[in-house]
A and B are shown apart, each in its own frame.
Chain A
Amino acid sequence: MTREEFCGSVRSRLLAHEAKVLLRVAMGPDFERPVELTGRDILQRGEQLAERFDLPKKRSVVLLLLPHSPEMFLLPLGLLLAGHIPAILAWPTNRVDPEKYQRNLVHQLSHLPADLLITVPQLAENLASSLPYGTCGLELERGSSYEKLFLGVNARGRSEGKKLGTISPAPDVDALFLQFSGGTTGAQKAIVVTTAMLTKQLELLGDALKFTDADSLTSWLPMYHDMGLIACYWMPLWHGASSLQMAANDWVINPELLLKYIARYQSTFCWLPNFSFAYLSRRREFMQEEYRLDSVRAWINCSEPVRLGSMMEFAQTFAEWGVGRKSLQTSYAMAETVFAITQSELGKETECVTRKSVEQEGPGYTERAFELIDDVYISSGKALADTELKIVAADGSICAETVAGEIYVRNPCLFSGYWGVEGFQAHTLTDGWHATGDYGFLKGPELFVIGRFKDIVIVGGNNIFPEDVEEVVNTIEGIYPGRVVAFGVEDREFGTQGLAIVAEMKNDSTGVTAIELEGAIRKLVLSTIGTAPRYVAIVPQRWIVKSTAGKISRKETQERFVRERLSIA
């Protein structure tokens, strides 16, 4: 299918449901009346929104930085149908320091080879003189509160980057859109999602879930997240199913809303990261009403390591409301394959394996960045059709069943390259296999993901790259340059991770205290990375652990932190 054929198919699919409400966008303060959009509305309003922007050429790369709103769901589609390549950036979910946030945006965005940034008008105006490409404001129907945040804030700092017209060309592959896989500072890079990758993913996942236009889903996952964008936006749109979208912030503060919408709209699917299962369970006793949740065919746990404890707690807590153990499902996914690689079988209980029955280390592995220490592991399901998995030991040999090693994947949805500072960079695969950086094992066809080698911290399903955090913290005066380490610490209560930062203070830093440094780190990391650190430890010089090769060791520093500092951090 070519890009043009894909766009034609999207139009036909939307018009085939021209009078059906396909998209509901719930926004405060009136949560009772979500904005409702039929197939025809989505198509017309999306295309009308895109027409407002005068783009320099076909296949323009358009960055979108917008808060949760109907426009956030309509504009990417409109731009795509108009022949452009949208890329959705993360809108800050917390209250941040607007000045620091804008300064970081300039740093982050001026290095990206884009053609246009579309954001809220005040922010567009503030950033206009600082970026090497154009900025345009989009007036949101309900967006005045966002404007106030950036009023009177100077972006400060001009880009040293390229001027409009000399930017790197758009990816010469058949790109539909770009999907950021993480990275919030200079390291920002995106997966190039092509027509072939997306259509195959929607077909494979649709088949595995027997997903039809009779289905519907409720989601709080943001559009910059692969689970939000692919599972909760493209899946229903492509298959003619309806979805209700609520903001992550609204969900965090009021998780009951999710259940209320599921019951009201008889949702059949709900994708959630693991911590959400634990969190919903804990909030049950404070919920105001009771809901019938029998309509849900699958609660799919994905985007961070799946934990049996979180799922069982959820099943027990909500059994009276109609949540059956067999409706709790799992999936293993990553942006590099557009989204899902595996999916558990609907209508069946997911398989479990005890930790002691797994050979924890394939040949040659001596260190792991992160490993689950649960007594029982839960399967992430079977590979989707046309998808191959293998578990590889450090010496390159293939691990036997229930022997853990690195997970490799090969399927038609695999990405061919990244788009970032250097423009489009092809990604080389060996015989078509992608090394995921995740740690797991196979038992029969079932994949169990039990950790990862890559240094990513996953906080509530959100990927945070330690390098980004360290780069930001290194800019703070009083911190010993290069002597900062970020890592994840287990959050057993919610089945996720908290972000921890250890920073060495300069011996000769005068006039600044450790408490002041800690405060500066917390504020800066929240403004730039978008996540507040759970722990910040200011330590004396030479506290951070180095490997025998003289390199800073995140793993060993993490172990030392947990051992010596966690109780007093």
Chain B
Amino acid sequence: MTLDRALIRIAAMEAASQIARRPIHDGQRLISSGLIDSLSVLRLISLLETKLNVSIPPETLQPDDFDDVDLIVETVERVAKPRG
């Protein structure tokens, strides 16, 4: 995956803020804090896929992989594939 890390971070921040309906800051826990529920994790993944035009294959994922912006960035870098 060759997406720019800064770009992924911006998309992750925007997507998380949109789903949580508030500005999200670095390190803020999304799932373990109860800020977003399990169905919203799914919305978050869909939103990331749309924003970055990637597919996030979920084979090895857990909700914890989306618990903060850093984890989202790492997860996208690790598993996202370009859509085509």
Contact = CB atoms under 8 A, between A and B. Distances in A.
Interface stretch (A218-226, A292-300, A381-389, A493-501): A493-501
Contact of A96 (B21, B32, B56): B32
A94 interface: yes
Contacts of A93: 38
B63 A496 contact: no
Interface string B43-57: 100100100000111
Given A95-B67, A532-B38, A534-B40, A519 B33 contact: yes
A284 to B, nearest CB: 11
A522 B35 contact: yes
Contact of A95 (B32, B39, B43, B58): B32
Contacts of A493: 43
Contact of A94 (B38, B42, B61): B38
Nearest to A288: B57
B60 A29 contact: yes
A532 B61 CA distance: 19
Interface string A485-519: 00000010110101100000000000000000001
B81 to A, nearest CB: 9
Interface in A514-532: 519, 521-526, 531-532
Contacts of B39: 275, 279, 459-460, 491, 494, 496, 498
Nearest to A530: B38
Chain A interface size band reads 35 or more
Nearest to A493: B43
Contact of B55 (A257, A279, A286, A531): A286
Contacts of A94: 31-32, 38, 63
B83 to A, nearest CB: 8
B58 A532 contact: no
Contact of B42 (A31, A256, A279, A519): A279
A100 to B, nearest CB: 11
A478 interface: no
A253 B63 contact: yes
Nearest to A526: B34
Contact of A252 (B36, B56, B63): B63
B37 interface: yes
A28 B60 contact: yes
Contacts of B55: 286, 288
A50 to B, nearest CB: 31
Given A254-B58, A286-B55, A532 B63 contact: no
A252 B39 CA distance: 8
A521 B35 CA distance: 10
A184 B26 CA distance: 33
Contact of B37 (A29, A498, A523): A498
A569 interface: yes
A533 interface: yes
A286 B56 contact: yes
A154 interface: no
A359 interface: no
B4 interface: no
A253 B63 CA distance: 7
Contacts of A533: 34, 37
A196 B61 CA distance: 43
Contacts of B67: 95
Given A252-B42, A279-B42, A569-B21, A531 B37 contact: yes
A502 to B, nearest CB: 16
B31 A282 contact: no
Contacts of A496: 39
A401 interface: no
Contacts of B2: none
A139 interface: no
A249 B58 CA distance: 11
A96 B64 CA distance: 10
A525 B61 contact: no
Nearest to A279: B42
Contacts of A526: 32-34
A95 B67 CA distance: 9
A526 B37 CA distance: 9
B21 A532 contact: no
A532 to B, nearest CB: 4
Interface of A: 28-29, 31, 93-97, 249, 252-254, 256-257, 275, 279, 282-283, 286, 288, 459-460, 491, 493-494, 496, 498-499, 519, 521-526, 531-534, 569
Lowest 3 CB-CB distances: which A-B pairs, in order?
Answer: A522-B34, A526-B34, A254-B58
14 contacts: A95-B64, A249-B62, A252-B41, A253-B58, A286-B49, A286-B56, A288-B57, A459-B39, A499-B37, A519-B33, A522-B33, A531-B38, A532-B31, A532-B37
Given A524-B34, A532-B31, 13 more contacts: A28-B60, A29-B60, A97-B32, A253-B63, A257-B59, A279-B39, A286-B49, A460-B39, A496-B39, A532-B36, A533-B34, A534-B37, A569-B21
